[in-house]
Amino acid sequence: MSRIAEDLADKLALDTIKAAEELGDDRLIEQIAQAVGASSPTTEELFRTAVRVRIAEARARKILAERLAKARTAPPAT
């Protein structure tokens, strides 16, 4: 059961992050978390964790891509 809840919370987190970006509404994530939490506090925590992990990963990937792009366009050291 735990794996099912984790998978569902992760999918909901992914969809909510995408929707929040598309709508330009940062509050959407909190609204969805509260709606989920009204029925299942456990699923709410799984959702919030998935959101944090996905947002952190996206930020880290952006930094990594920027660093690689900078290194690839820099003139070679002599």
Q: How many residues are given for the chain?
A: 78
pTM, two decimal places: 0.86
Residue 1 is predicted with a pLDDT of 58
Domain boundaries, the chain: 2-73
pLDDT per residue, tens digit, the chain (78 aa), is 589 999 999 999 999 999 999 999 999 999 999 999 999 999 999 999 999 999 999 999 999 999 999 999 988 777
Residue 43 is predicted with a pLDDT of 96
24: left (phi over 0), alpha (psi -120 to 50) or beta: left
DSSP state of 78: -
Sequence-distant (6+) residues with CB within 8 A of 51 are 13, 16, 17, 29, 33
